[in-house]
Structure 1
Amino acid sequence: MTRAREAIEDDLLNVVLACRPVYARNHDVAAFELLLQGEHPQGASLSDIEATGPAILGTYTQLFQRGRVHTVPSFLKVTDEVILAPQLPDLPKKHYILELPKGTLPTSERVKRLRHLAQRGYRLALADYAPDDGELDVLLDTVHIVKVDTRRLSDDVLHRTAVKLRGCGVEMLADNLDNGERFRHCLKLGFHYYQGDFLAKPSPIKGKKITGNKLLLLQLLSELHNPDASPTRLEEIALKDANLTYRILKVVNSAAVGLRREVHSLSHAIALLGLEEIKRWANLLLVGSEGNKPEALIRGMLVRGRMCEVLAEIAGRDNAINHFIVGLLSQLDALMDIAMPELMEQVPLSREVKSALLHRSGSLGEVLCEVELYEKGDFSGLKLLQDKRFYESAYRHSTAWARQVQQAMSYRDH
């Protein structure tokens, strides 16, 4: 049994759960949508809520953003069992937004119950709203947030929807935003929240090259991939930029690494951690030093990289560090605004890693595809591990790890 499997085996939940970010206008994470598959595929049951509550409040709703750890609320899709229950379990009102499942019929009994929940202080969200579906209008004076599937609506219909919802005084969430252009359109329409893959889609600038201290990081990575790499040569490269050396030593000394003694030089760090661990941190710095990109994008890259590594270890795959690098760099094109094929010409990675990033091929590509499916909540497509509970535990571990790493990489004092 692998070390990773042993480490998480005692921490398994009977559900699989992923978090889909909900963004504010400035790209900060304002909330998470919980993608939960437990007893009821259509939403969370009372037992699902009781089982996942500690994990959600203890890990999933916490993130590092703008120099400190924040706790944000979660959209939780609930079943009729929850809506019509005489009494809800101990559910902190400020941490949960109860989302009505798709196809909810506004019967008099449901409407009465929803109004009662709203009066008690629960926030309610209505999904898949369309302006021509007058049947749902009876709920607009009860719910607080209305989610609009922008992928299904034309610009004209989307504009009409926004005008109607603004008049009702509800907060609007633009869902399924696939690119930055669509996000900016919804921004002009006055939507309050935004959801989709638009942050992870690059806006390639033809001919753009990696510059600045990233060139030194690439030199460092190139040397780290050299079988004859030496601590002295690595230190020579890092010392060309005092700021780069400082950042490397800062993260190495951080709680994210957990050393018992302070490290004062790169050669000392290599002696204590080994070249593979230094390779990990060099890749992290390559990702984390892009100051003009949202922290949410970097967070997602960290979670994906670590989850690829943990799943590879659980599945007994070789070269877990390469699975980490593939997961981490799979959205480097969005971070750099350089198309992935052009980017691969500039980044010194092995042919196997590049092939996984470009074509999702080999063991590295297979594990990356699994993590991408998990992030989307496509749990039925997972094939790598028979016991799907390991995915959730790996994801939860990766979420906590990403928060810790972002703290370690921050320049701010904590």
Structure 2
Amino acid sequence: MYFYAARQPILDRDKNLIGYELLFRDGVKNVFPEIDGNEATTRLIEGSQFNFGLEDLTGDKPAYINFTLDTLLKGYPTLLGKDTVVVEILETIQPGKRLLAIVKDLKEKGYTMALDDYIHQPVWRHFYPFVDIIKIDFLSCDIDTIKQIVADLKPYPHLKLLAEKVETYEVYHQALELGFDYFQGFFFSKPEMIQSKALPPSQMALAELLYETSTLDMDLKKITEVFERDVNLSYKLLRYSNSAAFVRRSEISTIKQALIVLGANEIKKLLSLLFAAQMSADKPTELIRLSLTRARFSELLAISHGQFKDTGMAFLTGMMSLMDAILDESMQSVMKKLPLSNEIKAALLNDEGLLASYLNLVKFYEQGNWPAANELTEKLALGGKVPDAYHEAISWVNEQMQIMIDE
């Protein structure tokens, strides 16, 4: 039996990762709506303990997991370490003395408690001293109600407000102004028109590339692999290859192609320039992690599907899909600077083509939108390989990120 789950990042006001909400699914065919909350929570905990492992899905960050009243009464949160989980109390649970006693007990044991999809009621005031996070759904809750909740919670400064379903920059900015501490949703995949960021590539990757290119016979495969695991290096490579100094016969579809277009001398020149200009600015780590996950997942889908001669196109599409958020610049502007193939640009700008389908399937997994994922999987005739590709992509990215951390 396989354990299937997805994760959704939760970020702070500086876009630093603070945790992941884990979203359950039951294999390829049985999507979440066919399973009740008790079974979903039970199997998610069982799977995380005995199959995939929480650390594989969340690294060193806590997992935000929904608990029903039944699973709380059975003491399931205590099966997980207090530092590895945030206990989310589902909005369907009615506040009462029995629930309050459970919340008090878990808080005394050191667990972090959250109220999920919070609905403002006076009775919840009894819970505030024992709760750490209140999650508010910005899609289902009107702004006046949200403002009232924020005002009523001011006497409880220890409570952190988490904005859910933040889908646009406008909603994100609104939540920021209201004083929300944490954010969950896909606002970071939208452009924030603030300023253009110059992001430093990985020092370790640069050092590795300088070593690889110092030999007489460069190993193109190794060099391509180093570029593919560093989002910022790939962006700079593509930007550089779009310079007027180079005359291209065709647009670029893969990292390997960009390297061939430049040639050995220009690659060495580019790396020397980047190494000399290395700065200490922080990278938005979670965006890079998500970019790499999308890249590897898309590539694995393309390999399984067998429709592309060079599956590196799918990798590059996934990698570039969050470049607007990384650079705080519109995707249209980013695409103008890069010599990407029309097929990749069509996927990123217009949601068109097979590459866009792969990317959409990746996004459905990120969102835990199992009905849509299942429908698209069937449409593409990808069979039962998609969940395994997702898990393989996460494992691959964990390895790459560890390399960056250890640099």
**TM-score, normalized by length of structure 1?**
0.72
2:127 to 139, 144, 148: 139
Paired with 1:320 and 1:232, the residues of 2 have a C-alpha distance of: 18
Task: Provide the aligned C-alpha RMSD in A.
Answer: 3.8
Deviation (angstroms), 1:198: 2.0
Q: Which residue of 2 aligns with 1:52?
A: 48
Q: Which residue of 1 aligns with 2:362?
A: 371
SS at match of 1:313: helix
Flag the 1:221–1:107 CA change in 2: closer, same or farther, 3 A: farther
* Alpha-carbon contact 2:238-2:339 (below 8 Å) kept: no
SS at match of 2:52: helix
Residues paired across the two proteins, number:
351
Flag the 1:152–1:13 CA change in 2: closer, same or farther, 3 A: same
* Alpha-carbon contact 1:238-1:244 (below 8 Å) kept: no
Paired with 2:361 and 2:257, the residues of 1 have a C-alpha distance of: 33
* Alpha-carbon contact 2:241-2:339 (below 8 Å) kept: no
Structure 1 portions without partners, runs of 5+: 1-11, 63-70, 248-287
The residue identity in structure 2 corresponding to 1:149 is: D
Query: Sequence identity, in percent?
Result: 25
* Alpha-carbon contact 2:259-2:267 (below 8 Å) kept: no
Deviation (angstroms), 1:396: 2.5
**1:79 matches 2:74:** no
* Alpha-carbon contact 1:173-1:193 (below 8 Å) kept: yes
Q: Which residue of 1 aligns with 2:396?
A: 401
Deviates more, 1:304-313 or 1:332-341: 332-341
Flag the 1:149–1:396 CA change in 2: closer, same or farther, 3 A: same
Equivalent positions of 1:329-344 (< 5 A) are 329-344=320-335
Q: Which residue of 1 aligns with 2:311?
A: 320
* Alpha-carbon contact 1:239-1:245 (below 8 Å) kept: no
Flag the 1:214–1:161 CA change in 2: closer, same or farther, 3 A: same
Paired with 2:386 and 2:360, the residues of 1 have a C-alpha distance of: 13
Q: Which residue of 1 aligns with 2:210?
A: none
**1:384 matches 2:377:** yes
Deviation (angstroms), 1:191: 2.7
Flag the 1:102–1:390 CA change in 2: closer, same or farther, 3 A: farther
Q: Which residue of 2 aligns with 1:148?
A: 136
Deviation (angstroms), 1:74: 1.0
The residue identity in structure 1 corresponding to 2:388 is: S
Flag the 1:206–1:165 CA change in 2: closer, same or farther, 3 A: closer
SS at match of 1:299: helix
Paired with 1:388 and 1:145, the residues of 2 have a C-alpha distance of: 39
Flag the 1:290–1:345 CA change in 2: closer, same or farther, 3 A: farther
Q: Which residue of 1 aligns with 2:350?
A: 359
Paired with 2:113 and 2:103, the residues of 1 have a C-alpha distance of: 8
* Alpha-carbon contact 2:68-2:93 (below 8 Å) kept: no
SS at match of 2:153: helix
Structure with the larger RCO, 1 or 2 (CA within 8 Å, 6+ apart): 1
After superposition, the C-alpha distances for 1:14-49 in whole angstroms (9 at most, x for unaligned) are 3x3111111122211011111112484536433431
Equivalent positions of 1:125-204 (< 5 A) are 125-131=114-120, 133-168=121-156, 169-204=158-193
Deviates more, 1:373-382 or 1:315-324: 315-324
The residue identity in structure 2 corresponding to 1:311 is: L
Q: Which residue of 2 aligns with 1:65?
A: none
Paired with 1:74 and 1:166, the residues of 2 have a C-alpha distance of: 27
Deviates more, 1:211-220 or 1:387-396: 211-220
**TM-score, normalized by length of structure 2?**
0.73
Paired with 2:100 and 2:258, the residues of 1 have a C-alpha distance of: 67
* Alpha-carbon contact 1:42-1:101 (below 8 Å) kept: no
